[in-house]
Each structure stands twice: as structure tokens, then as C-alpha cells.
């Protein structure tokens, strides 16, 4: 799987992998038990409602680094970032029994959409972009009478990934790098994983999600850099350390994301050599949470994008 990103790794100018640091990092992986987020919520939904919920959440799950941090209150907890997005939607599902009805969603107006994300601090960043993604996926599901029929015929994770990126343009996360298209599909990968865990039909048909890559975002490259696995040259380091914007689709951004994914595949292979079997999405989730718990030494790179 790492071969998908080798072209970028071999041609990188701004980022390189320190292979000697991988073993030390693996020794710091102290919790290899994966649990899907749905296990933490108590919702009584049918299969299609779970699927719609997952698609809605992942359609909006991007770009939370803006300051001041956007936060919400949920059951007396103060949440930020993607957790705040998840529980804003879940709270709406709990309080509004019509919310996962596709006809209701189809007619939802922007002002009512904004109310879902009422916060204790600031407005959710890029709210118009999130609304556009939200409306795109709702419109596709609403207008395509064969959507669920097609979805329930898919029999492997790669086919499911292609289905998502072809149906929903906002999930089609790819970049052109030195003449070659590099496919990242971060949110689509998360959605495939969600659908596998949330739908009995899809899980029975697909059987596993072992052919997916990790999810190239902000947090894991920072964690890898803190552990010395990813090294940035002086030009990129100056931009990241001073929180200057890294443009979407730039060589800098593509190299950060692709080298991160390549390094993750190497870690997965080394774990397998130790007899620890884990797929890329599970490993991604564990490293993401590991990064959330550590003392952050360096900033994450800052890119304005709808893809992660």
C-alpha cells in the first residue's frame, strides 16, 4: 500500500523520513486497542440512519485549527475540533427526531444549519464550506433513488472508496504532484471505515477494511515530527513553526501528507513483524489520539482545505 506514496517520498524537496526513528516511536505506542466512535454514543437508529449520520459527519469533518478554537458544550463537557463537530450533530439527532430523514435534510436552510453548531466560543470555521458539503451529500442521497441499492451491492473496501469519491465530489481528495496524481481521500477513508462499523449489510459484504491507507491530516505529521520521524527542510520548518499558511495542493503540503502516510505504512509493517496485526485506519486513529495526549512541542502545518 505504501507504494501509492513512494513517488512523492522519492521526489520530496521539503520533507524526508528519518527511518532510524521508527523503532523508537513504535516502543512508545502503548495502547493498541481500537474502538470506533459509535461505541461512545447511545443512539437508537436503523441501518440507513446510521449511514446518513456517518456521511453527514464526515462530509464536514475538516480544518479545525483556526484561532480562537471553536468549542461546544455537550453534557457539561467542553469539546473542540472534530469532537465538537461530532457531538454537535449527535446532539441534534438526540433532540430532533426528524433530523436523519432525508426529506427533512433536503429542505434544511442555512440559518437552521448554523444553529446546529451553536458554540460556547467562536463560530465553527469555514461554515459555508461545511454547509456546501452537507447539501451536496444530502442532495445526492435524496435525488438518487438507487443510492442504497448500489451501496449495499459493494463487496470490498476499495470499491466502496471509489463509490464515495465518485458520488460526492467534496470527498474526492487528490493532488497533482510533479506530473502525477496522488490520491489521499482522507475523509472518504474515514467514511468507509465508519460504514463498515455502522452497517451490518456493508460489513457482511465488504468483510474488512484492510486495503485502506491512513488518513493524512494535521495532527499526525506534527506527532511524527515531534518524534523525529518526519524532518522538514529550513524553508518548510520556518513556515510551519511560525504558523504561516501552507497552500493546499502545493508541493509542501503534498510532501507532508504523502511522507506521513508512507511512514505509517512502515510502522504497520514493523508492528506486523512483531506479531501485532493492525490495519492502517486503526493505526491512524491510535497515533492521532497519542498525539492528542502528548505535550505539543511544535505547531501543525496550517492549510485551509475542505479535505482534512
CB-based contacts of 93-102 (< 8 A; 24+ apart in sequence):
93/43, 93/45, 93/53, 94/43, 100/45, 100/49, 100/52, 100/53, 102/52, 102/138, 102/141, 102/142
Instruction: State how beta strands 180-183 and 174-177 pair.
Output: antiparallel
DSSP 172-184: --EEEETTEEEE-
- Helix residue ranges per DSSP H, 36-151: 47-59, 81-95, 102-106, 110-116, 127-143, 147-151
Distance of CA 230 to the CA centre of its chain: 20
Dig out the grid coordinates for 45 from the structure: 437508529
Grid cell digits, residue 307: 479535505
Cα 110 to Cα 39: distance, rounded to the nearest angstrom: 30
Which residues of the chain fall short of a pLDDT of 50?
none
Neighbours of 239 (CB within 10 A): 18
Nearest to 264 by CA among 253, 245, 278, 248: 278
Closest-CA residue to 298 (of 248, 256, 247): 256
User: Quick one: pLDDT at residue 1?
Assistant: 80
What residues contact residue 159 under an 8 Å CB cut-off, 6+ apart?
none
**Exposure of 138 in the CB half-sphere (CA atoms within 13 A):** 22
- SS3 call for 15: strand
CA-to-CA distance for 59 and 135, rounded, in angstroms?
A: 9
pTM, to two decimals:
0.95
The answer for residues whose C-beta is within 8 angstroms of residue 85's C-beta and 6 or more apart is 57, 60, 61, 64, 117, 124
Tally Cβ neighbours within 10 Å of residue 88: 21
> Long-range pairs for 82-88 at CB < 8 Å and ≥24 separation?
84/119, 84/124, 85/57, 85/60, 85/61, 85/117, 85/124, 86/37, 86/57, 86/61, 88/116, 88/117, 88/118, 88/124
Give the single-character DSSP code of 300.
Answer: P
The 10s digit of each residue's pLDDT in 198-250 is: 999 999 999 999 999 999 999 999 999 999 999 999 999 999 999 999 999 99
Amino acid at each position: 500500500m505504501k507504494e501509492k506514496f513512494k513517488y512523492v517520498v522519492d521526489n520530496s524537496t521539503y520533507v524526508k523520513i528519518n527511518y532510524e526513528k521508527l523503532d523508537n516511536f513504535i516502543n512508545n505506542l502503548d495502547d493498541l486497542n481500537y474502538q470506533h466512535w459509535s461505541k461512545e454514543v447511545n443512539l437508537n437508529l436503523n441501518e440507513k440512519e446510521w449511514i446518513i449520520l456517518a456521511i453527514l459527519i464526515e462530509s464536514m469533518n475538516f480544518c479545525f485549527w483556526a484561532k480562537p478554537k471553536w468549542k461546544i458544550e455537550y453534557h457539561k463537557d467542553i469539546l473542540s475540533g472534530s469532537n465538537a463537530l461530532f457531538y454537535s450533530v449527535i446532539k441534534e439527532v438526540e433532540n430532533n427526531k426528524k433530523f436523519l430523514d432525508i426529506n427533512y435534510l433536503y429542505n434544511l436552510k442555512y440559518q437552521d444549519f448554523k444553529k446546529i453548531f451553536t458554540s460556547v466560543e467562536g463560530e465553527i470555521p469555514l461554515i459555508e464550506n461545511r454547509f456546501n458539503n452537507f447539501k451536496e451529500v444530502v442532495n445526492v442521497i435524496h435525488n438518487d433513488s438507487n443510492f442504497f441499492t448500489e451501496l449495499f451491492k459493494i463487496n470490498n473496501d476499495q470499491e466502496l472508496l471509489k463509490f464515495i469519491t465518485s458520488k460526492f465530489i467534496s470527498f474526492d481528495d487528490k493532488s497533482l504532484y510533479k506530473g502525477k496524481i496522488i490520491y489521499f481521500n482522507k475523509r472518504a477513508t474515514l467514511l468507509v471505515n465508519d460504514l463498515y462499523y455502522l452497517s451490518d449489510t456493508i460489513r457482511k459484504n465488504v468483510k474488512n477494511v484492510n486495503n485502506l491507507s491512513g488518513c493524512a491530516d494535521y495532527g499526525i505529521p506534527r506527532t511524527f515530527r515531534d518524534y523525529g520521524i518526519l524532518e522538514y527542510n529550513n524553508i518548510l520548518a520556518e513556515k510551519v513553526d511560525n504558523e504561516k499558511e501552507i497552500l493546499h495542493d502545493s508541493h509542501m503540503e503534498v510532501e507532508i501528507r504523502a511522507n506521513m502516510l508512507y511512514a505509517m505504512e512502515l510502522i504497520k509493517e514493523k508492528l506486523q513483524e512483531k506479531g501485532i496485526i493492525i490495519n492502517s485506519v486503526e493505526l491512524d486513529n491510535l497515533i492521532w489520539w497519542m498525539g492528542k495526549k502528548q505535550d505539543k512541542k511544535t505547531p501543525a502545518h496550517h492549510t485551509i482545505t475542505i479535505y482534512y
